């Protein structure tokens, strides 16, 4: 039997949503987790943990559609001032250091070095990449749009113009880009509104290959 939810359930009315919509915790669709880096107007690196992104491409390029860029954060400011950024995918062992940027995010702070990581200037864009991250995507902002009028977040389209990948992660028989040593995913607290009675929090997960499409 399926349950249907079209309005905020009573069990979730007092829940702290941290700016998210309640439906996100009911459907709990995972999204790639990464850290986006750019330069602040004072020249120091900015680092922003980010998720809620899809990657898509075609004959006109490869793009990251970032659906939750806060209008009030350093990332939004740097994209407007500079237009360039790098998407860095961290391994599980780097997660804690990358997450420390959430607190070490002062305007006068080199947010990459403060996390114990190494900033390296990108090749094609005016932004730093994190050397320790196994995959770095150099990006240029193409457009932004409010998902809903007056929202606190914008949808941003970034074109990926250059890619760096650690050779061991290129080999799926070695570290690869999937599984425990690959790309991490943000998982909103998968809650059951019928029994929920606590505080929502997110999980860090991985993706596992299930079967080959070539079987069809």
Q: What's the chain's average pLDDT? A: 94
pLDDT in tens, 139-171: 999 999 998 999 899 999 999 999 999 999 999
Residue 198: pLDDT over 80: no
pLDDT of residue 199: 75
Question: Rounded to an integer, what distance in angstroms lies between the CA atom of residue 205 and that of residue 122?
Answer: 28
| Tokens matching residue 9 | 């359930």
pLDDT of residue 4: 95
* Residue 58: how many other CB atoms lie within 10 Å: 7
pLDDT of residue 81: 94
Q: Which domains does the chain have, with CATH numbers?
A: 32-179 (2.30.110.10)
pLDDT in tens, 43-52: 999 999 999 9
Q: How confident is the model at residue 16 (pLDDT cuts 50, 70, 90)?
A: confident
126-153 in b/e form (b: 16+ CB < 10 A) is ebbbbebbbbbbbbbbeebeeeeeeeeb
pLDDT of residue 9: 92
pLDDT of residue 213: 84
Give the 3-state secondary structure of residue 126.
coil
CB 28 within 8 Å of CB 71: no
Residue 215: pLDDT over 80: no
Mean pLDDT of 73-92: 96
pLDDT in tens, 52-70: 999 999 999 999 999 999 9
């Amino acid at each position: 039997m399926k349950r249907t939810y079209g309005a905020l359930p009573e069990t979730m009315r007092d829940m702290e949503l941290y700016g998210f919509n309640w439906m996100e915790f009911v459907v709990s669709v995972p999204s790639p987790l990464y850290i986006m880096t750019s330069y602040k107007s004072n020249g120091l690196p900015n680092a922003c943990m980010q998720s809620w992104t899809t990657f898509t491409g075609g004959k006109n390029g490869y793009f990251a559609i970032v659906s939750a860029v806060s209008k009030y954060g350093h990332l939004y400011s740097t994209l407007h001032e500079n237009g360039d950024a790098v998407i860095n995918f961290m391994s599980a062992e780097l997660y804690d250091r990358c997450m420390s940027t959430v607190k070490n995010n002062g305007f006068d702070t080199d947010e990459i070095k403060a996390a114990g990581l190494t900033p390296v200037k990108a090749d094609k864009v005016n932004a730093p990449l994190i050397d320790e991250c196994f995959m770095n995507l150099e990006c240029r902002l193409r457009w932004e749009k409010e998902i809903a009028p007056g929202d606190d977040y914008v949808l941003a389209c970034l074109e990926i113009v250059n890619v760096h990948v650690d050779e061991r992660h290129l080999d799926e028989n070695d570290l690869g880009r999937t599984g425990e040593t690959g790309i991490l995913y943000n998982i909103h607290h998968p809650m059951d509104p019928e029994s929920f009675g606590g505080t929502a929090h997110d999980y860090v997960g991985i993706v596992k290959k299930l079967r080959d499409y070539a079987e069809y």
